[in-house]
Amino acid sequence: MYTDIENIIGYRFGNKDILKEALTHKSYAGEHRSSKHNERLEFLGDSILGAIVADYIYNQCPHVEEGVLSKIKSNLVSRRNLYLWGKKLDLGKYMSLGHGELATGGRERDSIISNAVEAVIGAVYLDGGYPAAETVILPWVKTQALTQDSQDFKSLLQEHLQKRGRETPVYEVIQTVGPEHDKTFTVRVSLGDKELGTGKGHNKKMAEQAAAQNAFERMKK
């Protein structure tokens, strides 16, 4: 079981007991009269995640003011985003839960899964230090759009245009720079020959969202 989750997150634990603790919910520990559950690791992981995300967006957004950086960080580490990450990792499958939680859908509960993400990060940090935590967190962060909220700007832009009887916008990669493992894409969104906006990101999806946000905000002015 632990080999599977290690393969998924891309990190090998020296101490498997730490990973076991990260995947143990308080309800399970209570039923088995154990003090070992993931709440302390969750506390630690929350801080480590915040520090690594803050460092990343600070360097990726050199001209963005502090207030906006804080909003971007809050969105990235929100319960919703961590839940989606945890679902992608299939963490619920590996959780040790009490009978009550199991009976009420605990393996799918957003709070349990998002908290488990933070606990696993805390476990990685304890086992391998800050660099190990970065190897787990950064690949995920680089797939996320650096926006102040979790809105789908491509959908918002399309709805805005449809209400005005316009056609579907076209997204085009106009520039790719950087090494293979750390590329930055620039995307342009257009209607016919008219450019509506541009955006950058570490993958095409992220760049398209950034371009849509740029276009949407320009249209709303």
Closest CA to 35 of 22, 44, 45, 26: 26
Segment 114-125 shows an average pLDDT of 98
Please state, for a pLDDT cut of 70, what percent of the chain lies above it.
Answer: 97
Supply the pLDDT for residue 123: 99
Dihedral, 126, 54, 71, 69 alpha carbons, nearest 10: 170
Q: Which tops the pLDDT comparison, 213 or 48?
A: 48
Q: Could you tell me the end-to-end alpha-carbon distance of the chain, in angstroms, rounded to an integer?
A: 53
Query: Over 80: is that where the pLDDT of 1 sits?
Result: no
Report whether 146 contacts 72 (CB < 8 A). Answer: yes
Model confidence pLDDT, tens digit, residues 153-201: 888 898 889 888 899 999 999 999 887 766 788 999 999 999 999 998 7
Supply the pLDDT for residue 94: 94
Helix (H, G, I), strand (E, B) or coil at 24: strand
Spans of all domains in the chain: 2-141, 153-220
Query: Over 90: is that where the pLDDT of 39 sits?
Result: yes
Mean pLDDT, all residues of the chain: 90
Distance of CA 173 to the CA centre of its chain: 23
Segment 27-31 shows an average pLDDT of 90
Options 1.10.1520.10, 3.40.50.300, 3.90.79.10, 3.40.50.620; CATH for 2-141 is 1.10.1520.10
Enzyme catalytic residues:
46, 118
Supply the pLDDT for residue 221: 65
Query: Over 80: is that where the pLDDT of 149 sits?
Result: no
Report whether 169 contacts 213 (CB < 8 A). Answer: no
Lowest mean pLDDT among 69-73, 112-116, 120-124, 137-141: 69-73
In sign, the C-alpha dihedral spanning 162, 166, 168, 170 is negative
Top-level class of domain 153-220:
alpha beta
Top-confidence range, 21-35, 110-124, 206-220: 110-124
Supply the pLDDT for residue 51: 98
Report whether 57 contacts 69 (CB < 8 A). Answer: yes
- What does the alpha-carbon distance between residue 155 and residue 170 come to, in Å, rounded to a whole number? 13
- What does the alpha-carbon distance between residue 132 and residue 45 come to, in Å, rounded to a whole number? 12
Model confidence pLDDT, tens digit, residues 88-98: 899 999 999 99
- What does the alpha-carbon distance between residue 140 and residue 182 come to, in Å, rounded to a whole number? 13
